[in-house]
């Protein structure tokens, strides 16, 4: 029998890559969104329009069918999870979490560096909590209130790719190409990233895995903004312009950190090496910036 998956937040960025992968696997996909973003899937998927912040909308729209797997890319607080799971009972629940759950970003972050079972559940709406704290409550309520649910929460670092709507990574290459001044406070800090396509494939992989609990997902290795600038300078002949009153870098304040993915390796998903693909993304962003 064909498995049925519900994807919350599947119309852009790595959510799109997740849906593409599920369709390739022959899974019947329903996407549920606010209905504000078009998607490229045509008749390959079913579509539901709902308001994630409204429990009545969840009850009305999402309880008409049962699903083998729910992929939740838009859970930002314990309240989001509670509203959903009161009306939807999946066999498998895959939640996008974040490196922001870690109290301190540092080299070699391991899943045990944040223990959701030791964190108090705070039932607040997502707009009432800082992003990282909200994700902590997501993991905590799943661990403590729904211990029998087959749930996994994926801790991603910065997700990047050509369709990155945040434009955080693009900022650095755009400013270099346009020769606009930047204020960067962490030029040499090594940071982790994950490619959006690989992030989507990892989520899909976890949908049919039996692993539960927190798991890191990141490309192997790290890179600094300084290394990115060095590559871009060699490519374009332009050097970055720094100024105290320049536009602040989106990754400012991020310390040296890296993410250990030994657990992902152990269950059969081996992430690519960061430097196998990051410079291709740099090329794409440089070309796009040059066309402005």
**What secondary structure does DSSP assign to 66-99, as a single string?**
--SEEEES---SHHHHHHHHTT---SEEEEE--G
| Contact present, 174 and 151 (Cβ < 8 Å) | no
271 has pLDDT over 80:
yes
3-state SS, residue 241: coil
Q: How far apart are CA 209 and CA 12, in angstroms?
A: 24
pLDDT of residue 75: 94
How would DSSP label each residue in 117-182? GGSPP----GGGS-HHHHHHHHHHHHHHT-TTS-EEEEE--EEE-TT-TT-HHHHHHHHHHHT--E
What are the distances in angstroms from CA 141 to CA 66, 96, 121?
Answer: 22, 14, 6
Q: How confident is the model at residue 183 (pLDDT cuts 50, 70, 90)?
A: very high
Lowest-confidence range among 33-37, 193-197, 210-214?
A: 33-37
* Residue 28 bridge partners (DSSP): 4
The answer on pLDDT for 281 being more than 90 is yes
CB 275 within 8 A of CB 227: no
User: What's the average model confidence in pLDDT over 222-245?
Assistant: 98
- pLDDT, position 160: 97
Rounded mean pLDDT, 143-156 = 96
Phi, psi of 58 (to 5 degrees): -60, -45
Query: What is the C-alpha to C-alpha distance for residues 12 and 249, in angstroms, rounded to an integer?
Result: 24
Rounded-to-5 percentages of helix, strand, coil across the chain = 40, 15, 45
CA atoms within 13 A on the CB side of 252: 11
The residue-averaged pLDDT of 100-113 equals 98
Q: Which residues in 31-56 are b (16+ Cβ under 10 Å) and which e?
A: bbbeeeeebebeeebeeeebebbeee
The per-residue pLDDT for 39 is: 86
| pLDDT surpasses 80 at 1 | no
pLDDT category of residue 157 using cuts at 50, 70 and 90: very high
What's the CATH class of domain 161-194+219-256+273-290? Answer: alpha beta
pLDDT level of residue 52 (50, 70, 90 thresholds): confident
pLDDT of residue 65: 85
Handedness of CA 234, 235, 236, 242 (dihedral sign): negative
Q: Would strands 213-216 and 151-155 be described as parallel, antiparallel, or unpaired? A: parallel
Can you give the pLDDT at residue 82? 94
Report the CATH architecture of 4-157+195-216.
3-Layer(aba) Sandwich (3.40)
Strand partners, 48: 32
CA distance 171 to 187: 14
Can you give the pTM of this predicted structure?
Answer: 0.95
Domain segments of the chain: what residues? 4-157+195-216, 161-194+219-256+273-290
pLDDT digits (tens, 9 = 90+) for 59-87: 999 888 889 999 999 999 999 999 999 99
The pLDDT of residue 123? 80
Q: Are 161 and 219 in contact (CB under 8 A)?
A: no
The 8-class DSSP code of residue 233 comes to H
Tell me the C-alpha distance between 50 and 48, whole Å: 6
**Separation of alpha carbons 8 and 73, rounded Å:** 6
- pLDDT at position 10 over 80: no
Say what percent of the chain tops pLDDT 90: 85
Q: What is the DSSP secondary structure assignment for residue 29, as one 8-state letter?
A: E
Which whole number is the average pLDDT over 231-235?
98
């Amino acid at each position: 029998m064909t498995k049925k998956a519900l994807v919350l937040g599947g119309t852009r960025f790595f959510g799109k890559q997740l849906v593409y992968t599920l369709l390739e696997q022959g899974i019947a996909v329903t996407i549920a969104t606010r209905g504000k973003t078009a998607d490229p899937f045509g008749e390959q998927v079913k579509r539901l329009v709902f308001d994630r912040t409204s429990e009545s909308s969840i009850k009305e729209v999402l309880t008409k069918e049962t699903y083998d797997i729910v992929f939740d890319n838009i859970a930002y607080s314990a309240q989001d999870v509670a509203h959903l799971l009161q009306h939807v009972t999946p066999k498998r629940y895959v939640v996008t979490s974040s490196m922001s759950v870690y109290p301190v970003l540092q080299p070699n972050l391991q899943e045990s560096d944040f223990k959701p079972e030791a964190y108090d559940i705070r039932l607040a709406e997502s707009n009432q909590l800082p992003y990282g704290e909200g994700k902590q409550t997501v993991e905590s309520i799943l661990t403590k209130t729904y211990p029998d649910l087959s749930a996994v929460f994926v801790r991603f670092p910065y997700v990047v790719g050509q369709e990155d709507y945040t434009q955080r990574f693009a900022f650095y290459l755009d400013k270099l190409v346009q020769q606009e001044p930047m204020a960067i406070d962490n030029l040499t800090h090594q940071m982790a990233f994950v490619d959006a396509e690989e992030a989507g494939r990892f989520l899909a992989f976890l949908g049919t895995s039996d692993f539960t609990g927190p798991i890191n997902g990141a490309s192997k290795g790290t890179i600094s903004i300084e290394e990115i600038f060095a590559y871009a300078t060699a490519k374009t002949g332009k050097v970055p312009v720094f100024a105290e009153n320049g536009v602040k870098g989106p990754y400012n304040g991020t310390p040296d950190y890296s993410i250990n993915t030994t657990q992902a390796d152990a269950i059969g998903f081996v992430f690519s090496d960061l430097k196998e693909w990051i410079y291709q993304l740099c090329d794409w962003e440089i070309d796009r910036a040059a066309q402005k």
